[in-house]
Amino acid sequence: DQTLLEVEHLQTHFFTENGVIPSINDISFSLNKGEIVALVGESGSGKSVTSMSIMGLIEDPGKIVNGNIIFDNQDLTSLTHKKYQKIRRNDMSMVFQEPLTALNPVFSIGFQLIETIKVQQKTNKKKAKEIAFEWLEKVRIPNPDKVFASYPHELSGGMRQRVMIAMALSSRPRLLIADEPTTALDVTIQKQILRLMKNLTKELDTAILFITHDLGIVAEMVDRVMVMYGGEIVEKSDVKQLFHAPKHPYTEGLLKSTPKINQWGEKLHAISGTVPTPSNLPKGCKFHPRCPKAFDRCETEHPPLIDHKDGSQVRCLLYER
Ligand code: SF4
Ligand code: MG
């Protein structure tokens, strides 16, 4: 069985004083061992809530109200806190957009690496230090001794992200969740970091769920793409097919606003309107107030995810048979 992760009908809601906010609604997808899949959408679409749900890090007033998260044949939604922690330590890791918030400012990089590795791999300090240096080399940090002794603020954004990747991958996890890991970096550094992540995870046979608002960035990196809008998946497709023949009008809009696709210096088109807040989702198709192709039924009918003959899936009434 090649399946590593199976998310089934996941719903995560936030129970606030102002009412229930349905941040993600009925999301299903699977990830194979070693596969790289992108979850793409604007901020507020539910991407990060999806990843936090998988990591078991949804906190009050948030709650998974429905669905299963099957990882390596066990349902994580029924795990005890302690068992979940063990899975996070050994089998799942995460890297975020801003490593400064994940690194402790008062401890050196070396100290934090050693502590992480000691806990993850139940090893002594000496061995942990060896592993730390191995990883600083693997993530191609040019001067490991210096970085080892540095404090987080003394490193560049790119170097900090390399350290985070070392920490995240040193436990050889089966799954890496990367939530906008390169968004804060400039383009050249972004590319280097992405290539590094791709090569290292390939070596380890680690799957990546790559969360981003930027389709252009994932084009060369991922196998499949899932597009989210308003807490739902609106398109699932092979990456080539998605770029070649996007189906959902929202995906078309995203592609038109992605510089890489606009090769002839054409003016970039932005999708008009704003992302709906999860507390105030429109009825019918959630994209209808912004959709250039909307027609009367779109205002009242909620489209199901429809299988397309090319193997992709799309949540749009235009694709009904
Ligand atoms: Fe646009 Fe209607 Fe399709 Fe929604 S269902 S994406 S509003 S055409
Ligand atoms: Mg986010």
Which CATH number goes with the domain that contains 221?
3.40.50.300
In this structure, which residue's CA is closest to atom 6 in ligand 1?
316
192 and 111 in a common domain: no
Asked if 194 contacts 222 with a C-beta cutoff of 8 angstroms, the reply is no
Does ligand 1 lie within 6 Å of residue 287's CB atom? yes
Final residue of a structural domain among 149, 172, 195: 172
| Res 13: pLDDT | 96
Expressed as residue numbers, the domain containing 13 is 3-91+173-319
57 and 190 in a common domain: yes
Tell me the C-alpha distance between 243 and 102, whole Å: 34
Final residue of a structural domain among 112, 139, 172: 172
59 and 33 in a common domain: yes
149 and 80 in a common domain: no
- Provide the number of structural domains found in the chain: 2
In this structure, which residue's CA is closest to atom 7 in ligand 1?
288
| Res 267: pLDDT | 53
161 and 180 in a common domain: no
Report the predicted TM-score, pTM, of the whole model to 2 decimal places: 0.92
Tell me the C-alpha distance between 268 and 99, whole Å: 31
Q: How far is the CA of 11 from the centre of ligand 2 (A)?
A: 17
SS3 17: coil
| Res 36: pLDDT | 96
| Res 262: pLDDT | 44
**Residue 291: CB partners within 8 Å, gap ≥ 6?**
249, 250, 285, 298
264 and 178 in a common domain: yes
77 and 211 in a common domain: yes
281 and 139 in a common domain: no
pLDDT tens series, the chain, 321 aa: 899 999 999 999 999 998 899 999 999 999 999 999 999 988 889 999 999 999 999 999 999 999 999 999 999 999 999 999 999 989 999 998 776 677 899 999 999 999 999 988 899 999 999 999 999 999 999 999 999 999 999 999 999 999 999 999 999 999 999 998 888 888 888 889 999 999 999 999 999 999 998 888 888 889 999 999 999 999 999 999 999 999 999 999 988 877 654 444 455 567 888 878 878 889 999 999 999 999 999 999 999 999 999 999 999 999 997
Does ligand 1 lie within 6 Å of residue 14's CB atom? no
| Res 61: pLDDT | 95
Tell me the C-alpha distance between 61 and 63, whole Å: 7
For residue 41, CA distances in Å to 4, 95, 135, 180, 190 come to 23, 18, 32, 11, 19
| Res 9: pLDDT | 97
Of 316, 319, 320, the residue with max ligand 1 atoms within 8 A of its CB, to mutate for a pocket test, comes to 316
10 Å CB burial of residue 72 (0-12, 13-18, 19+) is: middle
Does ligand 1 lie within 6 Å of residue 298's CB atom? yes
96 assigned to some structural domain:
no
10 Å CB burial of residue 88 (0-12, 13-18, 19+) is: middle
Pairing assessment for the beta strands 3-16 and 19-32 based on DSSP bridges: antiparallel
Q: How far is the CA of 179 from the centre of ligand 2 (A)?
A: 7
Which single residue is written with the structure tokens 């906190």?
A: 59
DSSP 160-210: HHHHHHHHHHTT--SEEEEESTTTTS-HHHHHHHHHHHHHHHHHHT-EEEE
Report which bound ligand comes closest to the CA of 51.
2
